[in-house]
Amino acid sequence: METVWFGIVAFMLVCYVVLDGFDIGAGIVHYIVGRNANERAATISAVGPVWDGNEVWLLATGGTLYFAFPALYASGFSGFYLPLIMVLWLLIMRAAGIELRHQLNDPLWTSFWDFVFSLASILLAIFFGAALGNVVRGVPLDATGYFFEPLFTDWSTTGATGILDWFTVLSGVVAFVALGVHGANYLALKTEGEMNTRSRKVVSLGWFALVLVTIASLGAVLYVRPQILDNYYYLPVGWLIPAGVVASLVAIKFFNTTGNDKGAFLSSSVYLAMMLGGAVYGLYPNVLPALDPAYSLTVHNAKAGAYGLSVGLIWWPIGIIIALGYFTFLFRTFKGKVAVEEHH
């Protein structure tokens, strides 16, 4: 039962990264793709109808964690209190940048909120990547199941670790590049003319950086947590995941070169899903690894009661069917291109 819920949480997290990932990515490339106020308004219009719905997946994932693995929720949300508060403020800033930008027709006003939207998106990508890096590296859990980490210490991955070290910063850079490429693919799909051309150019150049940081992150993960390969050797079907990463990278380049924006966007979606799925596959049964493996939180010692998990399996499919139906309606309603100088 706990393994099923582990898969459910992983699925919801992947949905969040893929969907809200292109919103964040659009903010990362906001000033590159949009060269003037009207073009940047088109970027906002491209994500405006869907960004808040995409963020619901983050809330749903947190709620599912609380339901299925309460010990993980309690430990993780208390141990990561500082970065989570920073993420909360960044989410608020990004939302304000999207929703307040068009409220006044004043160049100073729109320029300020453009800056807020872009900066918050950049920092969110880095913080989310660093958070995943902390989980992969492990945190200083003690016998009580709790931990505390300062923002940084000596940048080492052993001993008295901090939230930021060379490995977690590298993870943040990977997220920044990956979401930037993903967002550029989305804008290429949603825009025309010069914005479309610039978006494709960002993907074309960003692809090389994405390949580089992907290789670097693989080497870093194997150095910091070599045990992550154990599940791949135990159940070799998992090797399809890194094969999917390579295939998606090739597909991004191919579709970008041939001008197939939809294919490139779907390929970057697969890349994000495979990268996150590969980490989840390698970490199982851990949900929050400890630097001392004896104190790690797993699906077995962090799970909720069997009765609650069983009842949840009845209600979760109902909720997810409604959510997927809503998102299908939403994206079909707002499909097509956005135009520069079109009303918000």
Q: Is the pTM above the cut of 0.85? A: yes
Whether 157 and 133 have beta carbons less than 8 Å apart is answered as: no
Q: Supply the mean pLDDT for the chain.
A: 94
Residue-level pLDDT at 343: 57
Q: Work out the average pLDDT over 51-72.
A: 92
Alpha carbon distance 263, 286 (integer Å): 34
| Predicted local confidence at residue 342, as pLDDT | 64
Nearest one of 100, 126, 98 to 30, comparing CA atoms: 98
Q: Which of 149-163, 167-181, 251-265 has the lowest mean pLDDT?
A: 149-163
Does a structural domain hold residue 338?
no
User: Mean pLDDT throughout 146-160?
Assistant: 88
Domain that includes residue 130, residue range = 2-333
- Mean pLDDT for 203-217 is 98
Q: What pLDDT score does 145 carry?
A: 86
Contact in structure between 84 and 124 (CB atoms under 8 Å): no
Number of domains in the chain: 1
Q: What is the mean pLDDT of residues 146-162?
A: 88
Does 166 reside within a domain?
yes
Give the mean pLDDT of 233-248. Answer: 96
Q: What is the pLDDT of residue 158?
A: 86
Across 267-282, average pLDDT: 97
Mean pLDDT calculated for residue range 77-83: 88
Residues sharing a CB contact under 8 Å with residue 161, sequence separation 6 or more, in sequence order: 137, 139, 140, 149, 153, 291
Residue 164 pLDDT class (50, 70, 90 cuts): very high
The lowest-confidence range among 96-100, 160-164, 173-177, 214-218 is 160-164
pLDDT of residue 202: 98
